[in-house]
Chain A
Amino acid sequence: MVVCVLLARFELLAALGDRRALLSEPAALAPEAGREQMVGEVSAPAEAFGVVRGMRLGEALSRCPELRLVPPDPEGVRTLWNEVLDRLERIGAAVESDRAGIAYFAARGLEGIHGGDLAGVLSAARRAVGPGARLGVAPSRFASYAAALQVRPRRTESTLVVPPEEVGGFLVPLPAALLRVRPELQALPEVLGRLGIRTLGEVAALPPRAVSERFGHPGLLALDLARGRDTVLEPRRPPEPVSEQLELPEAASGPQLERALEMLVARVLARPERRGRTLRGLAVSARFVAGGTWRATVTLRRASADPARIRLALVPRLAELPAPAGSIALEVAAFGPPAHDQGRLLDEEGAARRARLGEAVRQARQSAGDDAAMRILEVDPRSRVPERRAALTPFLGEGS
């Protein structure tokens, strides 16, 4: 059996901090800086106006002009949610979580250490995550999520267990919109709705061949989910937190920020936990002077332990910072293989570069005409007459 732990509006609550009173008003998470202009999680009063997560900001404001936009706090949400996942892992659960507020784990194998039955596992999970969590138990991940959604919060019996023999009947009346919990099925419920298919029972009744022909792989996945089947859980790998933070004495920007990042890269590379490994992914985060946080993840094309290369990959992301930062942090998101960069015996890079350049020029000319690749030729660079200094001439290849 799969257990779903659902903490509704987790991101909104985390961003609100001690301003939780705002939950009784129409409120929504504002779009993250530099991302699509869509609202995040919304409060119940905002839902009453028809505002839902993922709605365009303009539409949300036109539906509910009094909507309070709460600055998102991705860094805070991540920290708080990781604490929840850590606590669940401490009871022995191998946790899968793609989104803050929803976690899944398999109960099988945990009964033995929590009283010998499922109830013991559930009470251990409840103690781990605290009050306010809704627990759903079912044979599949999707069905357990649907079960957790059916649980009324703030009730003593905040757990719903759907036995394997009842899962088909349990899912039948539920809305097909629940399929949106899977990122790859975000758009499917709307299309199904246009075809008059509104419940999971109606989805489950569709012939697989027709579904495959009309919707391809996502359609077959939806069919499986609606019939109570699901893909296997993929628990997260325990994180190895390696991060460095730097308080900025004054709201820094531009070169100062780059300098701060350079220091952070050097500090992260010097951490003993790295054990000689390269870095594959990094996350830069910042806390703004005026409140709120920002986080950007960078995956290196080639895992590296070269500070210059890492800095080159990270610096462009600093330009996305929407406000002056009071502190900046760098965290290793993923390690690569041990560093083994060695000098080459033969310098083949020059020849390879020339060949790549020649091929790029050929392709550019093919698509944009013969004058697509030109080179600037200095004719008389010291001339007092500007038009005599340089000319554009055809690029004939290296050395032309």
Chain B
Amino acid sequence: MTPVRSRRLGAPRPVAVRVGPADRPAGVGGSPVESVLEEWVVEDRWWTGRALRRRYFELVLVDGRNTVVFQDLTQQGWYSQRD
């Protein structure tokens, strides 16, 4: 039997985000954003050498999907994440 590895649930996935005014997402993966439901910032592990700084957005897209994306403020990339 081959060993089976554990893996994290809800790991972030890179996503293409079109940024609109005030650096807020205007489109995700080709779908325009209908509204931003919530916005928050997570800062963690700042006391270590690998600080984590994320700006989260909970969005409703025009096709009705509800999705959560964040911008990695240390590396500037965009990711989607299942809460």
Residue of A with least CB distance to B1: A370
B83 contact set on A, CB distance < 8 A: 386
The CA-CA distance from A377 to B6 in the complex, in Å, is: 10
Across chains A and B, the number of contacting residue pairs, with CB separation under 8 Å, is: 39
The answer to the question of A387 belonging to the interface, with a C-beta cut-off of 8 Å to chain B, is yes
Q: Are B52 and A391 in contact (CB under 8 A)?
A: no
The answer to the question of A21 belonging to the interface, with a C-beta cut-off of 8 Å to chain B, is no
Nearest CB of chain A from residue B14's CB, rounded to whole Å: 14
Instruction: Identify which of A376, A386, A387, A392 gathers the most chain B CB atoms within 10 Å of its CB.
Output: A386
Partner of A387, one of B2, B4, B10: B10
The answer to the question of B31 belonging to the interface, with a C-beta cut-off of 8 Å to chain A, is no
A390 contact set on B, CB distance < 8 A: 8-10
The answer to the question of B77 belonging to the interface, with a C-beta cut-off of 8 Å to chain A, is no
B52 contact set on A, CB distance < 8 A: 385
Knowing A385-B52, A386-B82, A386-B83, the reply to whether A391 touches B9 (Cβ < 8 A) is yes
Residues of B contacting A: mostly: loop
The answer to the question of A389 belonging to the interface, with a C-beta cut-off of 8 Å to chain B, is yes
Q: Are B44 and A387 in contact (CB under 8 A)?
A: no
The answer to the question of B16 belonging to the interface, with a C-beta cut-off of 8 Å to chain A, is no
Nearest CB of chain A from residue B51's CB, rounded to whole Å: 12
Knowing A370-B1, A385-B42, A386-B82, the reply to whether A393 touches B6 (Cβ < 8 A) is yes
The CA-CA distance from A94 to B1 in the complex, in Å, is: 64
Nearest CB of chain A from residue B56's CB, rounded to whole Å: 9
Task: Give the size range of A's interface with the partner.
Answer: 10 to 19
The CA-CA distance from A277 to B6 in the complex, in Å, is: 51
The answer to the question of A191 belonging to the interface, with a C-beta cut-off of 8 Å to chain B, is no
Q: Are B7 and A387 in contact (CB under 8 A)?
A: no
Contacts of B32-83 to chain A: CB distance below 8 A: 42, 44, 52, 81-83
Q: Are B9 and A370 in contact (CB under 8 A)?
A: no
Residue of B with least CB distance to A393: B6
The answer to the question of A384 belonging to the interface, with a C-beta cut-off of 8 Å to chain B, is yes
Instruction: Identify which of B9, B10, B52, B83 gathers the most chain A CB atoms within 10 Å of its CB.
Output: B9
Q: Are B6 and A386 in contact (CB under 8 A)?
A: no
Q: Are A384 and B44 in contact (CB under 8 A)?
A: yes
A392 contact set on B, CB distance < 8 A: 6-9
Contacts of B1-38 to chain A: CB distance below 8 A: 1-2, 4, 6-12
The answer to the question of A119 belonging to the interface, with a C-beta cut-off of 8 Å to chain B, is no
Residue of B with least CB distance to A378: B9
Nearest CB of chain B from residue A388's CB, rounded to whole Å: 8
Beta-carbon contacts of A373-400 to B below 8 Å, as 1s and 0s? 0101100000011111111111000000
The CA-CA distance from A386 to B54 in the complex, in Å, is: 12
A377 contact set on B, CB distance < 8 A: 6
A394 contact set on B, CB distance < 8 A: 4, 6
Nearest CB of chain B from residue A393's CB, rounded to whole Å: 4
The answer to the question of A320 belonging to the interface, with a C-beta cut-off of 8 Å to chain B, is no
Knowing A386-B82, A387-B12, A391-B9, the reply to whether A370 touches B4 (Cβ < 8 A) is yes
The answer to the question of A59 belonging to the interface, with a C-beta cut-off of 8 Å to chain B, is no
Partner of B42, one of A376, A384, A389, A391: A384
The CA-CA distance from A288 to B52 in the complex, in Å, is: 57
Q: Are B6 and A387 in contact (CB under 8 A)?
A: no
Residue of B with least CB distance to A365: B1
Knowing A377-B6, A392-B7, the reply to whether A387 touches B1 (Cβ < 8 A) is no
Residues of B within 8 A of A (CB): 1-2, 4, 6-12, 42, 44, 52, 81-83
Residues of A within 8 A of B (CB): 370-371, 374, 376-377, 384-394
Please, could you name 28 A-B residue pairs with CB atoms under 8 Å apart, sorted by A? A370-B1, A370-B2, A371-B4, A377-B6, A384-B42, A385-B44, A385-B52, A386-B81, A386-B82, A386-B83, A387-B8, A387-B9, A387-B11, A387-B81, A388-B8, A389-B10, A390-B8, A390-B9, A390-B10, A391-B6, A391-B7, A391-B9, A392-B6, A392-B7, A392-B8, A392-B9, A393-B6, A394-B4
